[in-house]
């Protein structure tokens, strides 16, 4: 039990959970005051991005060399850490987004949480855990600048749906494939390579 507590503290899990709770409460509060469908969809995307970026700090320990040389199986621990973090993001956001006025479809929230967690993991592998939030924030900014959240299935080419996956409705298959691919690639890369120094 002591090893688990030490691991959670070294990965800043208590601070991450507190931040996630703050994002969930803010999303719930906005659900009470926003009445337009597009406003709710935008808030759900922004808070999914904010909540997903909070997991970045925990993707690296305080001693990078120890993480690389310790005689324990890091790949499974890293993959498990990322999976639990993504499930926590989805669980907290879904529980608040579905209370009262629906902010977002559960499938859309699950897709966005998984895809954004994959982007954070890729960011940790390429840029390091401290800069990992840049990846999902930059992608979200470009997507929201290019296309607002839409409520019905798009008629645009599938490559545009794939690029703007987080703003698409839950039924858009190319968006789901893109998010699943980002989640899988990010998880595998992070599990095998860990965070960059």
| pLDDT (tens digit per residue) in 121-167 | 999 999 988 899 999 999 999 888 877 666 555 656 677 778 888 88
Largest CA-CA distance found in the chain, in angstroms, rounded: 54
What value, to the nearest 5°, has the Cα angle with vertex 21 and ends 128 and 149? Answer: 75
More confident position, 8 or 179: 179
Q: Are 114 and 175 in contact (CB under 8 A)?
A: no
Higher-confidence residue of 168 and 71: namely 168
pLDDT digits (tens, 9 = 90+) for 95-108: 876 665 566 778 88
Q: Number of structural domains, the chain?
A: 1
State pTM to two decimals: 0.85
Angle at the Cα of 134 (from 86 to 96), degrees rounded to 5?
35
């Amino acid at each position: 039990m002591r090893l688990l507590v030490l691991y959670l503290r070294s990965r800043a899990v208590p601070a991450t959970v507190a931040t996630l709770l703050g994002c969930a409460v803010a999303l719930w509060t906005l659900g009470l005051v926003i009445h337009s469908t597009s406003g709710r969809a935008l808030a759900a995307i922004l808070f999914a991005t904010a909540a997903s970026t909070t997991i970045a700090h925990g993707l690296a320990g305080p001693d990078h060399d120890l993480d690389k040389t310790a005689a324990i199986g890091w790949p499974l621990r890293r993959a498990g850490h990322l999976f639990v973090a993504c499930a926590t993001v989805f669980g907290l956001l879904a529980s608040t987004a579905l209370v009262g006025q629906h902010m977002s479809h559960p499938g859309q929230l699950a897709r966005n949480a998984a895809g954004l967690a994959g982007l954070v993991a890729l960011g940790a592998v390429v840029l390091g855990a401290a800069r990992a939030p840049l990846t999902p924030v930059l992608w979200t900014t470009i997507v929201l600048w290019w296309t607002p959240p839409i409520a019905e299935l798009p008629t645009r080419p599938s490559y545009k749906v794939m690029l703007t996956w987080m703003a698409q409705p839950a039924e858009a298959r190319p968006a789901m494939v893109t998010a699943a691919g980002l989640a899988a690639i990010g998880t595998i890369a992070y599990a095998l390579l860990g965070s960059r120094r």
